[in-house]
Each structure stands twice: as C-alpha cells, then as structure tokens.
Chains A and B, each alone.
Chain A
Amino acid sequence: MADFMNTPLLRVVTCGSVDDGKSTLIGRLLVETDSVPLDEVERARTYRRAGSVIPVGEIDYSLLTDGLEAEREQGITIDVAYRHLLLPSGRRVVLADGPGHEQYTRNMAVAASDADVALLLIDATKGVRQQTMRHLTVCALMNVGTIIAVINKLDALNFDESIVDKITEQLNEATSRLGIQSTLVIPVSALLGDNVISKSKNANWYQGPTVLGALQEWLPSKSLDEAELRLPIQSILRQGDWRGYAGTLVSGKLSIGDEFMVSESGIMAKVSEIYISGVPATKAHAGAAIAIKPDREVDISRGDLLCGTTAPLQPADRFSADIVWIGEEPLAHGRSYLLISGPSSVNATVTSIRHRLDVNTGHEDAVRQLSLNEIGRVSIATEKPIPLDLYSEFKDSGGFLLIDRVTKQTVGAGMIHHVLRRSFNILAHKFEINKETRASLKAQNPKVLWLTGLPGSGKSTLANEVEQALFQLGVHTYLIDGDNIRTGLNKDLGFTAQDRAENVRRVGEVAKLMVDAGLVVIVSLVSPFRGDRDSVRELFEAEEFVEVFVDTPVEICAQRDPKGLYAKAKAGNLPNMTGIGQGYEPPLNPELRIDGTADLTQSTAAVIQKVLKLS
C-alpha cells in the first residue's frame, strides 16, 4: 500500500547566488550522486564557453546547471529550474533552483512554495548579508520546513571554526525573530567537496551530517496522516450509474466507513468505496491519489473540498493574506481577480493593502500598491464563500494564486494569514421588498447605462439629453456624473491608476444600490481601464449593464476641451490625464457605440432605443 510518510520525494529549494558557489554545490551533488549521465559530465569537462577560466579536464559545474539558450541570448531568467537528485538511500530529491538575483524575490517564493527543505548558501568570506536575510524571510513566509544553512568557501578561510560560530550566532538571531523552527548549519567547501558528500577532514571540529547526509536523514516534523482530512475534488468519475469523486488526499487518512463533510454545503456522508491509483482499497494515507464513492447520493462538484466532520472547515469570504506580487502591472486594491486554490476558483477583490514587507529589514511600510517582486499583507473579499485554511497549517488549501481576468496570467501568490469572516456570519438578510417589487411599482426594468469615453468626448452632454428624454417617457432615473461624485463621496481619491480603479468601483457599487432601488441609472465616467469596467459589469445581471462607448477622436476632444483639461495637460500640469499621460482602453464589445462627433439628437435617440429594446 502506498505510504508517503518517509517523504520518498523530498522537495528542496536552493537559495543563494552563483557568487556564493551555488552552481558548484548543486553540480557536485548531481555528479557525485550519479544523477547526471556520463556524457553530460564529459561535456562539462571538455566544452568551454567563451571567457571560461576553468581548465579543460575539470568539471565546469555551471554547464550542468545553467539555463536555456533563450535566457542567455535575451538576458532573461525564467523563474525556476527543476533537477533531480538520486540519493543513495533511495530517496528522490526534486531540486528547485530559482535564479538568485536580488530583484527576483518572486522566483524564490515560487521555488520555495513546495519545499520541505531550503539549502541556504552563505559565502563564509562575506558572512550574513542582506541577501541572506531576504532568503530567510521568504523561506519563513513560504513556511519551508527546515533551513539548512550551507556555510561555503571555508577553504578560503582555513576552515576556521570561529567564523562559522559567528555566522551561526547571527543566523540564530534572525531565525528566532522570523519564527523558523528548524535550522541546521553545515560548514562546507563546495569547491573541494568538504562536507558535501563526504565528511571534511579539514573541518574536523564539525560533528554534524554532510549536506547529502542531511538530505537523506530529513523527516517531517509532523505526520500529514495525523492532520485533519483535506480532499479537494478534481474530477467526477462516471461509469453507468456509478459515481465516484477523485482527488489527492493532501492531508489526513481515510477508511471505508469514515464520515466526511462537503465543506461548501455542509452535507455529510460516509465513504463506501476507496480506490488508490485505480486499485480498490480499504484505507488511504495522506499523499495518495484516490477516488471515493459516498454511501448515499450527495451533490459534489469539481473544486469542492471534503473535510472531516468533527472539526469541519467552514467556508469564508473575507481573509487577510500575505501576497507575493508576480504581475508586471502592480496590484491595485479594488480590482477583481480570479482566485484559485487547488481545483477550486472564485472571483476575489483585494479590498485593502495593509502593508508592504521590506524583505531585507523586516520593516512593514504603508503603501497603496504592490509592484512586481514585492510582498505585502492584504485583505481579500471573495464573491462567494470558499473553504481556505491558514497557510501555516495547510500549504495546499491555505495557498492560492491570483489570476488577471483578461490576460489570464498569474499575477500573485497568496498565503492565508487569518480568516476574517466565516460564511455563517454573512447569510444576507432577505427582505420582503426587493428589486423586483420596487421595479414593478415603477413599471420599469432597472438598469445602468455606463457611458465611458475620453474627457471631452461628450459623455455628460449625452447623459443629460438621455435623462431628459427618459424622464419625459416617465422613467425613474438618476444621473451619476464623474466630476460631481469626486466633490463628495470620492473626494479622497486622485487620478493614479489605483485611485481610478477605486473611483470606478465605488460608482459601480452606488449604481448597484440604485438599480436595486428600481432606477434606471445613467453613469457618465471616463473609466479608462477595461478591467475596472469589467469588474463593475459583474455586479449586475446580464441585461442590467449597458456599456455605451462615446467614441470621439482625441484631437476633437482636445479642441472642445470644455474644462480646459487638455490645455493644462499640454502645459504639463496634469500628469495622469487620460488620453495624454494615461492610456484609454476602449471597450472591446460595448452594448452600444456612439460616434461622439455625430448629431446629438440622433445619438440620444439611439441610446433611448437601446434602453427600450432591453426593457
């Protein structure tokens, strides 16, 4: 029976830069454990890259560990390289190596996310540096089980014990501050091989294991078998009338007859059949890929999480989390992202950024955005409740990714720090009088007409005409104008991309309340960013949101310039002016496009016609 308790696949992250001797250490581990083929080693002895000073015949370890042709040619680095070590004990090591440049915090976070062990290289001739602190901070954040501090280049310092003592003292101070539980210090010379594979004769004062020994002897501090049941469902298996639910048992164990709960719904059932990798079984251990059949018909979908019934995991919709920002565009609060964790996904908004962590000093700075490679603590609201654990307890169900909804790129990696609101608190109060009843009293279909376009495109003029026309038709309306809202509700906001996102979000929420009140709402707002507008669209039902693109060439807007904004921007006094300093992203598929240079009466009629048609 499959048993993963002794960690047959050990996941290791290497931290350090090439200057610390990282290639040499990894290369030596690869070569001396026979984990690379002989022809590769032979090539590393004979082939030389331009500028190499390593004599032919010796192994150039960097040739075994270096990256892709594309990286060398384009001078870029792809986040993480994965290699395998075949240890003599039979254990397999998956070595994740992130390029060590200072700016690539994200690479290290990615490489460390799954790691049981971190090999942290410290150049003994340089001691504990800012880089070391950065690596330790990221390892602590990603909850790496054990840190093995590899004090390298001791051959250059006559294997002086006092230097290692001093570095150990500095390390201990840092690890206890960061709450790192398990640390091991190994003095090595990667160049000469001391304490990498075999014991050093030069550092005879050292009694501990070699790097290889430490990797072979590592055991997890707690057994995943003993932890709470977590079974995220990936696929539904169907064979005739038979229904099974397949997923990886990420923690806990499960036997036939055990009771479980579907976290999302609270529904309970018992296990009546278990398959491990397709083979019928009576019991499964943590780590196994299993399928189960419940003893009764229950509604389980892909993305649901099965947990135990004694201490079930309650779904929640408000979290605080640490985020490593991976996206090229900064994280702006108020934007909607797709949050995924294992097989489940939900729309989520970062409602506030609490602080940014300075990975070198540990300081927490107040900021309004997070940029690429930055780490911060944020609050997150999800569209519907989702069962997420604390990351410190469960990496799989406590870690998540944020996806940009337009580009589909992964832009953030998050670790749940605290659950702010479980869903049993938030059953929305259902009132007897609702949107439908209010709307029917007014005999109209509430909706929002969202007029977007450049400043001076004619939105306000058109909005005004449209409202008058609707009023004459007996429609209950309200007009929200961007400029007016900024004098009151949004007077705390400026014109940066982040503030614009928040401006649009608030106007969207206000419009939603008014639609709920049964009104036809006309919004006149530049709202330059597609993502922001799309987030607002999601607040509404399908027919309720009518995006109207007032399309006027920027030259004409600048000529009109009713508020003198283009003149100011030209003089350099308005750095964030849409169409000048900031881009405008036109709607790709608006419900209606109005030519802003056309006759106003005709344009108004077109809008009215659209509204009536949708009514």
Chain B
Amino acid sequence: MTQVRISTDQVLDALEAEAINILRETAGAFKNPVLMYSIGKDSSVLMELARKAFLPAPIPFTFLHIDTLHKFKAMTEFRDRKAAEIGFKLLVHTNPEGLNGAVTPWTHGAQEYTRVMKTVALRQALDAGGYDAAIGGARRDEERSRSKERVFSLREPGHRWEPRNQRPEMWRTRNTTLSDGQTMRVFPLSNWTEIDVWRYIKRENIEIVPLYYAAPRRSVIRDNQIIVLDDDRMPLQANEQAVERLVRFRSLGCYPLTAAIESTASNMDELVAEMELMRVSERAGRLIDGDREASMEAKKTEGYF
C-alpha cells in the first residue's frame, strides 16, 4: 500500500492559496471592502496574505482598527509602526461614548464594556465607511459555534447575523451579491487552525507583537487567570498583589480581559515548539467567553466579530 506523506509546507501552501483566492474574490466582487485589523497574530497573517495576493500591486483594502482604549501599549505601537512601514491605509475608530475613560471593564463589567467598545464601535465604523465587505481573521477552530460559519458570511441591515439566511458555499463559486443594507463578512482563514497560523508566521518570518513572547511581566491572578497590568488604570482587589511572572500571550485583546500563560518561550522557535504541544483551546484564556454556553454565538448575532 502506498504511503502518502504530506509535509506541513504543503498544507500551508494549500491554505495560503485558498485564502488568497478568497481575498482576491473580495477585492474583485465588492465596491468598498475593509480589512478588520486587530493587530494580533491572525491579523498579521491576513496582512501578509493580502500583500501576497496583490503583489506587485499594493493592498487594495483599507485597514480598520477598533481601538477600545484598553489595548496593550505594545499593540498600538506595533500597529502604527506597521502602517508606516507597509504603507497601508489605516483607520482607527473608538466609540465616542467611551472616550476619557467613560466606559471601562471595571466600571461597566466585561460584557457591557465589550458591547459598547467593540460591537457598537465596529458597527459605527462600518456604517460610517459604507463598507460592503469586512474581512476578518476568524477561524473555524476557535470555537464550536464557528464550525457553521461561512467563509462569506452575510449580515442583514444593522449587521445582524441571521442563521437562517446563510448562503450555501459550493465549489469556488460565491454569491457575493447584496440587497439593500446587507453587508458581507469575509473570513479567509476559516480553514486554518491555530497551529497553522504559528507555523505560517514562522515560515514566512512575519513580525508579531512582542507580547506573544515570554518575558517577565507585572501581573495578578484573577479568576484563576493571569492578568498582566499593562498600565495603572486597573483597580486591584484587596487580595491581589502585583507580581512579576514569566508569561506570554496566545491571543491578544484588551489587557484587562486577556489572560496570559506561563511560558519560557522567548523566541519563534521555542514558541512554535511550545504550540505544537499545546493541548488546550485558545479561547480557554479569554475571560469574556466563559459567561454562558454559546456566548460567542450570541455576540455574533449582535454583530460582534
């Protein structure tokens, strides 16, 4: 019997080709597409794929970042440096309701904060820009409810995700037509897994925010999770004490809501080696998801990304 061996490079090549096909289809089929740039590892891969998809021509998408004002400082620095380096058009939006510290996780609770500063902010930015398609880095392996997500995911007026109205996807043919008020979310990384993302970052030598590498960071333990104190805004509880721990992040978001993991992986080789052995899911580290069964799905219906 033949032994079919497939190398990780072959898998990455196939995933890359699929994602580029999706990005080109988005550029060709929509009038005003935008790429939702979260500064994290998936966004960094998306940026690289968007660059490759249109080389030697420039990336034809505007990059949109929703700034919740509680991102890690290193993320904001990275974002602005990359925009200057690569020369993509960057749009940063913050929900004006949350300016001057008016909406924070500790005043409003994680859920309400996320709704106002992420979900509503995103809707505001998408409406203001009149974007008919928004490209995101979500993957199907991130969460169970995502297994039914389309690559081209239709949103009704108001950015509502209507499970009944999702379009069947067949072959490489996608129905990208929209009726009044409808928009499309596009997920080129749908078939990627977390380890694919890391292997690709390593193979392509893609720069990532240094927070992904282990370093001593001032942190507290809250709800059994390590929260790094990126600045002094987060009020500590009576029993909490800030201690330096050797930690890194698997995914990045708002610093008060993103748990770190203990790790010594301080360079790309060590990081990927550690991820190859990782057996617990990525979202186990995100505080906001634990609230209830299928909470991601509930947020998506509201227009959360």
Binding site for B on A (CB under 8 A): 2-4, 6, 8-9, 34, 37-40, 64, 67-71, 74, 76, 78-84, 86-87, 89-92, 94, 106, 109-110, 113-114, 209, 216-219, 232, 234-235, 237-239, 242, 244, 246-248, 250, 275, 277-279, 287-289, 291, 302, 326, 338, 340-343, 395-396, 399-401, 403, 406-410, 413
* Residues in B neighbouring A234, C-beta threshold 8 A: 21, 24-25, 27-28
CB-nearest residue of chain B relative to A11?
B191
B58 on interface, CB distance cutoff 8 Å: yes
Say yes or no: A287 contacts B11, CB within 8 Å.
no
Say yes or no: A413 contacts B10, CB within 8 Å.
no
* Residues in A neighbouring B279, C-beta threshold 8 A: 34, 37-38
Say yes or no: B178 contacts A239, CB within 8 Å.
no
With both chains docked as a complex, state the minimum distance between the C-beta of B30 and any C-beta of chain A, in angstroms. Answer: 11
Say yes or no: B54 contacts A289, CB within 8 Å.
no
* Residues in A neighbouring B3, C-beta threshold 8 A: 89, 217
* Residues in B neighbouring A217, C-beta threshold 8 A: 1-4
Given the complex of chains A and B, what is the CA–CA distance between A33 and B27 in angstroms? 37
| Residue in B10, B25, B28 whose beta carbon sits within 8 Å of that of A8 in the complex | B10
Say yes or no: A247 contacts B175, CB within 8 Å.
no
CB-nearest residue of chain B relative to A87?
B6
Say yes or no: A69 contacts B5, CB within 8 Å.
no
Produce 1/0 per residue, B148-169, CB < 8 A to A.
1000000000000001111111
A-side binding surface: helix, strand, loop or mixed?
mixed
Binding site for A on B (CB under 8 A): 1-8, 10-11, 13-18, 20-21, 24-25, 27-29, 51-58, 60, 140-141, 144-145, 147-148, 163-175, 177-179, 182, 190-191, 193, 279-282, 284, 293-294, 297-298, 301
Most-contacted residue by chain A among B5, B58, B175, B179 (CB, 10 A): B175
* Residues in A neighbouring B298, C-beta threshold 8 A: 69
With both chains docked as a complex, state the minimum distance between the C-beta of A306 and any C-beta of chain B, in angstroms. Answer: 15
Q: A110-B170, A277-B52 are in contact. Are A244 and B57 (CB under 8 A)?
A: yes
* Residues in B neighbouring A279, C-beta threshold 8 A: 52, 55
Say yes or no: B297 contacts A84, CB within 8 Å.
no
Say yes or no: B171 contacts A395, CB within 8 Å.
yes
Given the complex of chains A and B, what is the CA–CA distance between A527 and B30 in angstroms? 34
Say yes or no: A246 contacts B147, CB within 8 Å.
no
In the complex, 27 of the A-B residue pairs with CB atoms within 8 angstroms, ordered by the A residue number, are: A6-B6, A8-B10, A8-B14, A37-B284, A39-B280, A69-B294, A70-B163, A70-B301, A78-B164, A79-B168, A83-B147, A91-B4, A91-B11, A106-B168, A110-B170, A217-B2, A232-B172, A237-B57, A248-B21, A279-B55, A287-B14, A396-B172, A399-B171, A407-B179, A408-B175, A408-B179, A410-B167
Say yes or no: B141 contacts A84, CB within 8 Å.
yes
Say yes or no: A343 contacts B168, CB within 8 Å.
no
* Residues in A neighbouring B53, C-beta threshold 8 A: 235, 246, 277-278, 289
* Residues in A neighbouring B145, C-beta threshold 8 A: 68-69
Say yes or no: B10 contacts A6, CB within 8 Å.
yes
| Residue in B13, B29, B56, B294 whose beta carbon sits within 8 Å of that of A239 in the complex | B56
Q: A110-B170, A277-B52 are in contact. Are A2 and B175 (CB under 8 A)?
A: no
Question: 12 new A-B pairs (CB below 8 Å) besides A71-B163, A113-B170, A242-B57?
Answer: A9-B15, A37-B282, A76-B163, A80-B148, A218-B4, A238-B57, A248-B21, A287-B17, A289-B17, A342-B171, A408-B175, A408-B179
* Residues in A neighbouring B58, C-beta threshold 8 A: 239
Given the complex of chains A and B, what is the CA–CA distance between A242 and B11 in angstroms? 32
Say yes or no: B167 contacts A409, CB within 8 Å.
yes
Given the complex of chains A and B, what is the CA–CA distance between A403 and B174 in angstroms? 11
Given the complex of chains A and B, what is the CA–CA distance between A29 and B8 in angstroms? 20
Given the complex of chains A and B, what is the CA–CA distance between A9 and B134 in angstroms? 26
Say yes or no: A3 contacts B10, CB within 8 Å.
yes
Given the complex of chains A and B, what is the CA–CA distance between A248 and B6 in angstroms? 21
With both chains docked as a complex, state the minimum distance between the C-beta of A110 and any C-beta of chain B, in angstroms. Answer: 4
| Residue in B13, B297, B301 whose beta carbon sits within 8 Å of that of A2 in the complex | B13
Say yes or no: A8 contacts B11, CB within 8 Å.
yes
Given the complex of chains A and B, what is the CA–CA distance between A111 and B140 in angstroms? 16
Q: A39-B281, A275-B55, A410-B175 are in contact. Are A248 and B165 (CB under 8 A)?
A: no
Say yes or no: A38 contacts B191, CB within 8 Å.
no
| Residue in A68, A91, A92, A278 whose beta carbon sits within 8 Å of that of B148 in the complex | A68
* Residues in B neighbouring A84, C-beta threshold 8 A: 140-141, 191, 193
| Residue in B52, B54, B168, B169 whose beta carbon sits within 8 Å of that of A235 in the complex | B54
* Residues in B neighbouring A235, C-beta threshold 8 A: 24, 27-28, 53-54, 60
* Residues in A neighbouring B178, C-beta threshold 8 A: 408
Most-contacted residue by chain A among B28, B179, B301 (CB, 10 A): B28
* Residues in B neighbouring A81, C-beta threshold 8 A: 147-148
Say yes or no: A342 contacts B4, CB within 8 Å.
no
Say yes or no: B21 contacts A8, CB within 8 Å.
no
CB-nearest residue of chain B relative to A343?
B28
Most-contacted residue by chain B among A110, A217, A244, A401 (CB, 10 A): A401
Given the complex of chains A and B, what is the CA–CA distance between A407 and B170 in angstroms? 19
Say yes or no: B57 contacts A114, CB within 8 Å.
no
Say yes or no: A8 contacts B6, CB within 8 Å.
yes
Most-contacted residue by chain A among B58, B163, B174 (CB, 10 A): B163
Most-contacted residue by chain A among B4, B60, B169 (CB, 10 A): B4
Say yes or no: A39 contacts B4, CB within 8 Å.
no
Q: A81-B148, A248-B21 are in contact. Are A68 and B294 (CB under 8 A)?
A: yes
With both chains docked as a complex, state the minimum distance between the C-beta of B75 and any C-beta of chain A, in angstroms. Answer: 25
* Residues in B neighbouring A246, C-beta threshold 8 A: 24, 53-54
Say yes or no: B163 contacts A6, CB within 8 Å.
no
